[in-house]
Amino acid sequence: MREWLLRTMVAGVMAAAMAASAHAITGEKAEFKKVADDVYAFIGKLNDANALVVVTSQGVVVVDTGNNPPETRLLQQFIRSVTAQPVRYVIITQNHGDHVGGTPLFVPPALVVVHERVAKDWATWKPHQIKSWRTRFRERVDALKNVHPLDQVVSFGDRMTLRLGGKTIELIYVDDLHNPGDIAVWLPESGVMHAGFVGYIDRHPDIRPDYSHGTTWGMLRQLDVFSALKPRVMIPAHGPLGDVKDLHALTDYLLLARKKVLAMLQQGLPLAEIVKQFHMNEYKGWDRESHFAWIAETLYRELQGMGPQLATLVEERLAGTITQVAQEGRRLTVRTDSGRELRLRITSDTDIAGAADRSVLKAGMKVSALYVVPQGANAALGFDVYELTVTP
Ligand SMILES: [Zn+2]
């Protein structure tokens, strides 16, 4: 009995240690770190999205824009602490809220530079997305009243070189059918790279069966091209700073993940069983084990040459009370007035009324929401919310 108790206690301590290491990898406060002359990395708190800042004599170039409005404002303050130059360009490495969401704080007058697939997507934005873009920063509401998100966009197809104030900034896109427009930003003079979506450190990749983040095959192609440049400093999309070794580490990770799912396919296992058995426990301590199910399902499709999972989105409405908030308002659990428990995803383009932004959402708040349910698909992280109103 005592031995059992001791073993249980040891296991408990180990599990607690692992849980701790599996969480925050970056610090509790965002940092602004000089990585070369006139080049700074914004390192998001607790693995929030990172950004890159290049200061030149003709203005500032910002790459990605922070997770939530408070982070974007902090990024703006950091920039002002090192230069009086205005932000002239905002480059977007991936078309996801935690990288794009802060754009309207700088644009206009800054121009936003995106891959043409991203520009194409922005051209299809729904009214709630445009409204959210215009009103996300209360200090910008007047300035953006008549601005369409596409108005300040410069887009490119393959590669683009930006020369500003004596600095060279290269934007690199590696084409494949499902790349949604993810790019890396490379500073050849200082050896600094923002590796965009494939820049991961100690974090399981967020790859999805609808290929909205591309495929592992496309990621491997990008990793080949980016690692050949041998970055001295690699700024990942999330997590602490790294270098070329971390690009190689993710290549190894993806090859192992593919091998595992391929072996299960060869045994004839059905999807549900593959999702159940799949793990990447070789990478214990990495952030976001919640991504396993989607990694497995994405590989299941990819390795059989299947296209992206296309799910019809059905709009539904709810009224209820928030019972749980995670990741600063990105994930909510809501008990509806009819007694259902629903998990919701508040994205950066959720149009929020009655609260400054998602980071101030709290358990106990009464809300109503317009959300979408993908038919026949696994909404592993919850249903996406288009409109959220916090009612008094
Ligand atoms: Zn991200």
CA 75 to each of CA 8, 123, 231, 384: distance values in angstroms, whole numbers, following the listed order: 45, 27, 23, 27
State the DSSP H helix or E strand holding residue 315, giving kind and residue range, or none if neither.
strand 313-326
Look up residue 170 and give its amino acid.
E
Over residues 375-383, mean pLDDT:
79
Assess whether 36 and 167 both reside in one domain: yes
285 assigned to some structural domain: no
Q: Which domain holds residue 57?
A: 2-254
272 assigned to some structural domain: no
Assess whether 88 and 187 both reside in one domain: yes
CB neighbours of residue 99 within 10 Å = 26
Assess whether 190 and 321 both reside in one domain: no
pLDDT at 111 over 60: yes
pLDDT tens-digit readout, 133-159:
999 999 999 999 999 999 999 999 999
Assess whether 230 and 337 both reside in one domain: no
Residue 54, pLDDT score: 98
What per-residue string of b and e applies to 6-43 under the rule 16 or more CB within 10 Å gives b? eeeeeeeeeeeeeeeebeebbeeebbbeebeebbbbbb
Strand ordering across the sheet containing 183-187: 159-164, 167-173, 183-187, 192-194, 233-235
Name the pLDDT band for 8 (thresholds 50, 70, 90).
very low
Compute the distance from residue 49 Cα to the ligand 1 centre, in Å: 5
CA gap 197, 213 in Å, rounded: 8
CA gap 322, 327 in Å, rounded: 14
pLDDT at 283 over 90: yes
| Positive or negative torsion for Cα 233, 42, 221, 229 | negative
Name the pLDDT band for 16 (thresholds 50, 70, 90).
very low
Q: What is the CATH number of the domain that holds 341?
A: 2.40.50.320
Compute the distance from residue 12 Cα to the ligand 1 centre, in Å: 32
pLDDT tens-digit readout, 163-192:
999 999 999 999 999 999 999 999 999 999
pLDDT at 209 over 90: yes
pLDDT tens-digit readout, 317-366:
999 999 999 988 999 999 999 999 999 999 888 989 999 889 899 999 99
Residue 239 tokens read as 């997590």
Look up residue 86 and give its amino acid.
P
pLDDT at 315 over 80: yes
| Positive or negative torsion for Cα 110, 115, 116, 120 | negative
CA gap 185, 173 in Å, rounded: 9
Compute the distance from residue 168 Cα to the ligand 1 centre, in Å: 25
The domain boundary residue, chosen from 254, 286, 302? 254
221 assigned to some structural domain: yes
pLDDT tens-digit readout, 212-256:
989 999 999 999 999 999 999 999 999 999 999 999 999 999 999
Assess whether 343 and 247 both reside in one domain: no
Compute the distance from residue 392 Cα to the ligand 1 centre, in Å: 32
Name the pLDDT band for 13 (thresholds 50, 70, 90).
very low
Assess whether 86 and 206 both reside in one domain: yes
Q: What is the CATH number of the domain that holds 192?
A: 3.60.15.10
Name the pLDDT band for 17 (thresholds 50, 70, 90).
very low
Assess whether 241 and 320 both reside in one domain: no
Residues with CB in 5 Å of ion ligand 1: 49, 98, 237
pLDDT at 20 over 70: no
Compute the distance from residue 58 Cα to the ligand 1 centre, in Å: 29
Compute the distance from residue 204 Cα to the ligand 1 centre, in Å: 12
The domain boundary residue, chosen from 254, 269, 298? 254
Residue 376, pLDDT score: 76
Residue 105 tokens read as 């704080």
Assess whether 89 and 217 both reside in one domain: yes
269 assigned to some structural domain: no
Residue 2, pLDDT score: 44
Assess whether 363 and 241 both reside in one domain: no
pLDDT at 11 over 70: no
Assess whether 367 and 238 both reside in one domain: no
Total-model pTM: 0.84
Compute the distance from residue 305 Cα to the ligand 1 centre, in Å: 26
259 assigned to some structural domain: no
Name the pLDDT band for 377 (thresholds 50, 70, 90).
confident
Assess whether 323 and 244 both reside in one domain: no
Task: Count the domains in the chain.
Answer: 2
